[in-house]
A and B are shown apart, each in its own frame.
Chain A
Amino acid sequence: MSRPPQASALYDVPGPHARRRHLLYGLLSTAVLLGLAAWILYLLFDTDQFTAVKWRPFLYEGIQELLWKGLVNTLKAFALAAVLSLVLGAVLATGRLSDHRPVRWIATLLVEFFRAMPVLVMIFFIFVALKVQPLPALVTGLALYNGSVLAEVFRTGVHAVPRGQGEAAYALGMRKTQVMTFVLVPQAVRAMLPAIISQLVVALKDTSLGYLITYEEFLHAGKLIASNLDYDLPFIPVVLVISPLYIGLCMLLSWSATWIARRERRDPRTKGVDVAPAAPVPTLPGRE
C-alpha cells in the first residue's frame, strides 16, 4: 500500500536530498490530513451527533432485529441476483457464441441493450410498469444487467483460451458442445474468475437500489431508524453504523477477487509446464 513502485517511468530513484524532501512533504501532508479528520470529528461533536439519545436506538433489540432483517434481505437479493445473472450470462454467452446467425443476433441485441440501459430504469420499469413486487423487480433488473455484462466476460474468456486448445479438441473428434463444456469453458472460467467476482461486487452494491423501490433492505432499515423523531433523527449515527458494514461486505468480495487473481498467477496449472523430452515408447499398447 505504501511501498513505492519498484521502477516507475515517472521519476528516478530518489537520492538522499529528495528522500528528505519527501519525508518533509509526507509529514506536512499527514498533519493536514489529521487536521482534516479532526475538523470532521469536531463538526460531528459540534452538531451533537454523539449524544446518547441518538445512539440509544442501537441498543434496542427491536431495532437490532430490524437492521439484521435488512441485512438478510440485502444478502437474499444479492444471492438471487448473483445466481440468476450467472445463469443468464451463461445462456447469453452461449447465444453469442452460437453457430446460428439468428441466435447470435438476438443474443447480441439483448446483451447490448441491457448493458446500455441504466439498471435503475430497468428496475423501475419492472416495478412500476409491470407492477411486480419489489424483491422480484430488483432481482430481475440486477440479473438482466449483470447477466449481460457477465455474458461478455464469459465470451471474452472463451476467446482468450489459446486457439490450439479448441483445435486439438476438434481434432480428437469432439463435437462443439463437448469442446465447449470439457475444454474451453473450464479454462475460461478459471481465467475469468476475478472478473466474474468483480461483477458480483457490482451486483451486491446495486442491491441498495432496492431502497428506492421500497424493498426492505439494509439501507431501508437504516432510513426507518434515521427518520425516527424519538431519537432526535439519528441520521449520522445510522450512516456511521451502516456504511462500514456495507463497504466491508463489498470489500470482502473485492478482496477475494484479487486474492483469486493472485493465486491464479502462482498456480502451476496455469503456467507453462516443462514437458519431458519425448522418449521412445512402445509403438503398440500392451507390448512391454
Chain B
Amino acid sequence: MDVLTENFSLYGEGFLGTLELTVYASALALVLGFVMAAFRVAPVGSFRVFGTVWVTVLRNTPLTLLFFAVMLGLPRFGLVLPFEVFAVLALGCYTSAFICEALRSGINTVPVGQGEAARSLGMNFTQTLGTVVLPQAFRSVIPPIGSTLIALAKNSAIAGAFSVTELLGTYKTLSELGYNIIWTFVWIAVGYLIITLAISAVFNLMEKRWGVTR
C-alpha cells in the first residue's frame, strides 16, 4: 500500500501518460480505420488494393517491430518528433488495421436490400450511406470496436519500453528507489484494469443504448 501512497504523483503521471496515449491513438486509429474501410469497399480498384495491403501488412506486423521501425527509423529521415507522437503514430496505425476490419465486417452485415430500397426511394449516395447503411452498420460494430480499443490500451504498454512516460515504465523508477517490486506491479496492474474496465463499461453502455438486439 505504501508504494502507492508514497509515489502517488509518479503513478498518476504514468496513468495519465497511458490514458493520453490511449485516447490520441484511439482517435487516430478510428479516423484512419474509417478511411481504410472506405477504401476497402470503394468501387475504385486501386483504393481497394491500397486498403487491403495496408490492412494485411499492419495486421501481420509485430507491434514491437513497428515501434522499433517508427521510433528509431523515422529520425533517420530527419523526422524528429517527441517520442509520444511516434508512439501515437505506431499504435494508431497498427490499430487502424483492426478497426478497418471491424468496420468493414459491420458494413457487410447490412443486408443488400436496405441499400437497394434506399436507392429505389430516390436517395442519392450520401443519403443512402448516411441515413440507411451506416447507422445500421454502426450498431453492429460497437462490440468489436470496443475490444479493439481495449487491446490498444493494453498494447500502449509497449510504448513504455521505448522511453515514453506511461504506466508500465514507472516500475523502473520505483525499483531503483527500492520499493517492493511485487506491490509495484500490483498497482500497475490495477491502473491497467481501471482503463480497460472503463473502456468496456463505456462500450457496454453504448451497446445497451444503440446495439442490435439479436
Listed in ascending order, the chain A residues whose CB lies under 8 Å from chain B are: 1-2, 4-5, 7-12, 14, 18, 22, 25-26, 29-30, 33, 43, 47, 49, 116-121, 124-125, 128-129, 201, 204-209, 211-212, 219, 222-223, 226, 235-236, 239, 242-243, 246-247, 250-251, 254
Which 4 residue pairs spanning A and B have beta carbons closest together? A9-B115, A208-B62, A250-B60, A118-B154
Which residues of chain B have a CB within 8 Å of any CB of chain A? 41, 43-50, 52, 56-57, 59-65, 68-69, 72-73, 76-78, 107-108, 110-116, 119, 125, 128-129, 132-133, 154-158, 160-161, 168, 171, 175, 181-182, 184-185, 188-189, 192-193, 196-197
Collect the chain A residues with CB atoms within 8 Å of residue B114's CB: 9
Q: Which residues of A contact B156 (CB under 8 A)?
A: 118
Please determine whether B46 and A246 come into contact, CB atoms closer than 8 angstroms.
no
Residue of A2, A18, A120 with most partner-chain B CB within 10 A = A120
- Option from B50, B77, B171, B185 in Cβ contact (under 8 Å) with A43: B77
Among A124, A125, A239, A254, contact of B59 (Cβ-Cβ < 8 Å)? A254
Min distance, Cβ A144 to any Cβ of chain B, angstroms = 13
Contacts of A116 in B (CB 8 A): 192-193, 196-197
| Chain B contact residues, majority secondary structure | helix
Q: Can you name 11 A-B residue pairings with CB atoms under 8 Å?
A: A2-B45, A4-B43, A9-B132, A9-B133, A43-B77, A118-B168, A120-B161, A128-B175, A205-B61, A226-B72, A250-B62
CB-CB < 8 A to A47: which residues of B?
A: 76-78
Give chain B residues whose Cβ lies under 8 Å from the Cβ of A239.
Answer: 68-69, 73
Chain B residues with CB under 8 Å of A250's CB are 60-62
Q: Report A-chain residues with C-beta under 8 Å of the C-beta of B110.
A: 9
Min CB distance A101 to B, Å, is: 24
Q: A8-B115, A205-B60 are in contact. Are A30 and B46 (CB under 8 A)?
A: yes
In the complex, what residues of B have CB within 8 A of residue A246's CB? 61-62, 65
Check A247/B107 contact, CB under 8 A, given A118-B155, A120-B158: no
A205 touches B171 (CB 8 A): no
In angstroms, Cα B155 to Cα A15, docked, is 45
Contacts of B111 in A (CB 8 A): 9
B62 & A206 in contact (Cβ 8 Å cutoff): yes
Contacts of B50 in A (CB 8 A): 29, 33
- Which residue of chain B has its CB nearest to the CB of A48? B76
B61 engages A243 (CB within 8 Å):
yes
Query: Could you tell me if B158 and A251 are in contact, using CB atoms closer than 8 angstroms?
Result: no
Q: Within the assembled complex, what's the spacing in Å between the Cα atoms of A125 and B171?
A: 10
Given the contacts A118-B157, A205-B63, A2 and B168 also touching, CB distance less than 8 Å: no
Residues on the B chain within 8 Å of A1, using CB: 48-49, 52
User: Could you list 8 further interchain pairs (A-B, Cβ under 8 angstroms) beyond the known A22-B44, A219-B65?
Assistant: A4-B48, A9-B115, A12-B119, A120-B161, A208-B62, A219-B64, A247-B60, A250-B62
Say whether B76 contacts A121, CB under 8 Å. Answer: no
B132 → A minimal CB distance (Å): 8
Q: Which of B73, B125, B184 has the most CB of A within 10 A?
A: B73
Chain A residues whose C-beta falls within 8 Å of the C-beta of B41 in the assembled complex: 5, 8, 10
- Are B46's CB and A8's CB within 8 A? no
**Other-chain residue from B77, B128, B154 in contact with A119 (beta carbon distance below 8 A):** B154
Closest to B111 in A: A9
Which of A10, A26, A205 interacts with B46 by CB under 8 Å?
A26
Is the Cβ of A247 less than 8 Å from the Cβ of B64? no
Whether B68 lies near A211 (C-beta < 8 A) is yes
Q: Is the CB of A10 within 8 A of B133?
A: yes
Partner of B129, one of A10, A118, A125: A10
Task: Report the separation of the CA atoms of residues A33 and B168 in the bound assembly, to the nearest whole angstrom.
Answer: 38
Expressed in whole angstroms, the minimum distance between the Cβ of A166 and any Cβ of chain B is: 23
Query: Are A223 and B44 neighbours in the complex by a CB distance under 8 Å?
Result: no
Question: In the complex, what distance in Å separates the CA atom of A26 from the CA atom of B61?
Answer: 27
CB-CB nearest in chain B for A36: B50
| Contacting residues, chain B, for A207 (C-beta < 8 A) | 62
State A142–B108 Cα separation when bound (angstroms).
33
Give CA–CA (A120, B67) in the complex, Å. Answer: 14
Whole-angstrom CA separation of A116 from B192 in the bound complex? 8
Q: Do residues B157 and A247 form an inter-chain contact, with CB atoms below 8 A? A: no
Residues from chain B with a CB closer than 8 A to the CB of A11 are: 43, 115, 125, 128
Shortest distance between the CB of A5 and any CB in chain B (Å): 7
Chain B residues contacting A211 (CB-CB under 8 Å) are: 64, 68
**Are the CB atoms of B73 and A236 closer together than 8 Å?**
yes
Among B158, B175, B182, B185, point to the contact of A212 (Cβ < 8 A).
Answer: B158
Complex Cα distance, B128 from A8, in Å, reads: 12
Contacts A117-B192, A206-B62, A208-B64 given; does A129 touch B185 at CB 8 Å: yes
